[in-house]
Amino acid sequence: MSTGSNLFAEPGLQQITVWARGVVMNKDARDIVVALAEAAAREGKYVQAWENYVDLPDRVYVPVRAYARISTDPIESKYIYENETPDIIILVEETLVKGVPVLRGLRKGGVLVVNTRRSPEEILSFLGDTGNLETLVTVDASSLSTAVTTLSGAEGATDATGIGAGIAAPLAGAVVKATGIVSLENLAAVVKNPEAMRRGYELARVTRLETKGAAQEVAVSAGELLKQLPFAGTVPSPVSENEGMVTGNWRMQRPVLDQEACTSCDTCWIYCPDSCITRTDEGPTFNLKYCKGCGICEEVCPSGAISLVPELNFKD
Partner 1 sequence: MLERIPSIRKAPDEEYYVPGHRTCAGCGPALAYRLTAKAAGPNTIFIGPTGCMYVANTSYGCGPWRVPWIHAQITNGGAVASGIEAAFKVLARKKKYQGEIPHVIVFAGDGGAVDIGLQALSGMLYRGHDVLFICYDNESYANTGIQTSPTTPYGAWTTFTPAGPAVPEGKKLFPKDNPKVVAHGHPELKYLATASIGWPVDLMNKVRKGLNAEGPAYLHIQAPCPKGWQFPPNKTIEMAKLAVQTGMFQLYEYENGEYKLSVKMEERKPVAEYLKLQKRFAHLQPEHIEKLQAFVDARCAEVGITVPAVASAR
Cβ-based neighbours of 155, under 8 Å, separated by 6 or more: 56, 57
Interaction between residue 181 and ligand SF4 (CB under 6 A)? no
The contact mask relative to ligand SF4 for 53-92 (x = CB under 6 A, - = no) is ------x---------------------------------
Shortest separation between residue 259's beta carbon and ligand SF4, angstroms: 9
Least Cα distance to 283 among 299, 271, 295, 301 occurs for 301
Interaction between residue 274 and ligand SF4 (CB under 6 A)? yes
**Omega cis (within 30) before 86:** no
Selected from 266, 280, 285, 310, the binder of ligand SF4 by CB under 6 A is 266
The contact mask relative to partner 1 for 258-287 (x = CB under 8 A, - = no) is -------xxx-xxxxxxxx--x-------x
Query: 211-247 burial, b for 16+ CB within 10 Å, e for fewer?
Result: eeeeebeebeeeeeeeeeeeeeeeeeeeeeeeeeeeb
For residues 143 and 304, give the distance between their C-alpha atoms in angstroms, rounded to a whole number: 29
For residues 293 and 61, give the distance between their C-alpha atoms in angstroms, rounded to a whole number: 9
Selected from 5, 263, 280, 285, the binder of ligand SF4 by CB under 6 A is 263
Shortest separation between residue 300's beta carbon and partner 1, angstroms: 5
Selected from 92, 182, 190, 291, the binder of ligand SF4 by CB under 6 A is 291
Output the CA–CA distances (angstroms, integers) from residue 49 to 26, 36, 81, 109, in the order listed: 14, 9, 11, 22
Shortest separation between residue 199's beta carbon and partner 1, angstroms: 27
> Quick check: 268 and 297 in contact, CB under 8 A?
yes
Output the CA–CA distances (angstroms, integers) from residue 306 to 94, 269, 280, 303, 316, in the order listed: 23, 12, 15, 8, 19
Q: Which of residues 40-59 bind partner 1 (CB under 8 A)?
A: 57, 59
Could you tell which of ligand SF4, partner 1, none binds residue 161, using a CB distance below 5 to 8 A set by kind? none
The nearer residue to ligand SF4, 203 or 308, going by C-beta atoms, is 308
Could you tell which of ligand SF4, partner 1, none binds residue 1, using a CB distance below 5 to 8 A set by kind? none
Selected from 36, 277, 311, 312, the binder of ligand SF4 by CB under 6 A is 277
Nearest 5 degrees, angle CA 99-CA 103-CA 104? Answer: 95
Least Cα distance to 77 among 13, 168, 163, 157 occurs for 13
Interaction between residue 22 and ligand SF4 (CB under 6 A)? no
Longest dimension (CA), the chain: 69
Q: What is the CA radius of gyration of the chain?
A: 21
Residues in contact with ligand SF4 by the rule CB under 6 A? 59, 255, 257, 262-268, 272, 274, 276-277, 283-284, 286, 291-297, 301, 303, 305-306
Residues in contact with partner 1 by the rule CB under 8 A? 22-23, 57, 59-62, 149, 151-152, 154-155, 157, 229-230, 235, 237-247, 250, 265-267, 269-276, 279, 287, 289-290, 292-296, 298-300
